[in-house]
A = this chain, B = another copy of it.
Amino acid sequence: MELLEEHRCFEGRQQRWRHDSTTLNCAMTFSIFLPPTAENVKPPVLYWLSGLTCNDENFTTKAGAQRVAAELGIALVMPDTSPRGDDVADDAGYDLGKGAGFYLNATQQPWANHYRMYDYIRDELPALVKAQFEVSDRAAISGHSMGGHGALIMALKNPGTFTSVSAFAPIVNPTQVPWGQKAFSNYLGNDETTWQEWDSCALMQASHAEDAIPTLIDQGDADQFLANQLQPAVLAEVARQKSWPLTLRIQPGHDHSYYFIASFIEDHLRFHAEHLFG
C-alpha cells in the first residue's frame, strides 16, 4: 500500500492509496475518509460505488460527504470503477471497459482476466481496509447510477454484510436497458440466463424475507437517463411485492449530476447512521 495523498478535511483525514490487487491483477487506487472520531473508536464504514467514467476521486471531491461523515463518525471508502492499466482491455465507448466495470465478474474474453470488480469490492477491498485501518465490522453501501446498481447487487447477494443500502439514480434492471445489455453481453456473453444474478430486480424477486435491509433510493425527475436506463419504479414494484423496506424518493428538478448527489448525500448518511449505529 502506497499513500498517494493525504489532506485534513473537516478535522478528519482524506487519503488516497495505491495497492496491487490480486483479484483484478493490476494496481488500483482508492480513497478513504477517516472521521475525527477514528482516533478513539473504530468507525463503521460506508462504501461508495461511483458511476460510469468515474474513478475514486469524483465522489471524494464533489459530494461534500465528509462534513456529515465527520459529524456522524463514519469512515467513507471510495474505490475505482474498473481495473486500470495499459494491459487491461478497454473499449472506445464510455460505457464499457475502463471506468465501466459494472461491479460484476466477467466471464468472457478479453475481459475475464481483469474485470472482477464484484470479488474486489466484496472481498479484497474490505479485507484490505480492515487490515490497514482501525475500522469496525459494521458496513453500509451506497452508489450512483452504475454504482447504485453495484451497491444494490452487493447488498442483495450478500445478506448480513451491510446494515443498509442506498443509491442515487441506480440502474436497477440492467438486463432490460441499453447500458446493462451492452455491458452484460460483452462481460457475460449472450446467454441471458447468466445475467440474472447481476440484476437487482431479479435478485430482489428471488430474495428471502429475513434478508431484507433498509433501502433508500433518490431519483431526480429531470434525469436525462430516467426513462431509458434507470426506471427505479420497476424495483420499487418488486419491493412492494416482496415487502422489502425500500423508500424511493423522486426529487423534482434534479438531474444525473453530482449536484444532485451533493444535495441529498446528507440524508443518505443520516439514513445509514441510523442502522450502522442502531
Contact = CB atoms under 8 A, between A and B. Distances in A.
B8 A263 contact: yes
Interface stretch (A59-67, A129-137, A200-208): A59-67
A66 B8 contact: no
Interface of A: 7-11, 14, 61-62, 64, 66-67, 220, 222, 251-255, 257-260, 262-263
A263 B255 CA distance: 26
A255 B8 contact: yes
Q: Is the interface of A mostly helix, strand, loop or mixed?
A: mixed
Contact of A10 (B14, B255, B263): B263
**How many copies of this chain?**
2
Nearest to A222: B8
A260 B7 contact: yes
Contacts of A220: 8
A136 to B, nearest CB: 24
A42 to B, nearest CB: 21
A79 to B, nearest CB: 19
A147 B123 CA distance: 45
A61 B258 contact: yes
A10 B260 contact: no
A255 B9 CA distance: 9
21 contacts: A7-B255, A7-B259, A8-B222, A8-B251, A8-B254, A8-B255, A8-B259, A8-B260, A9-B263, A10-B262, A10-B263, A11-B263, A14-B259, A61-B61, A61-B62, A61-B258, A64-B64, A64-B67, A66-B259, A67-B262, A67-B263
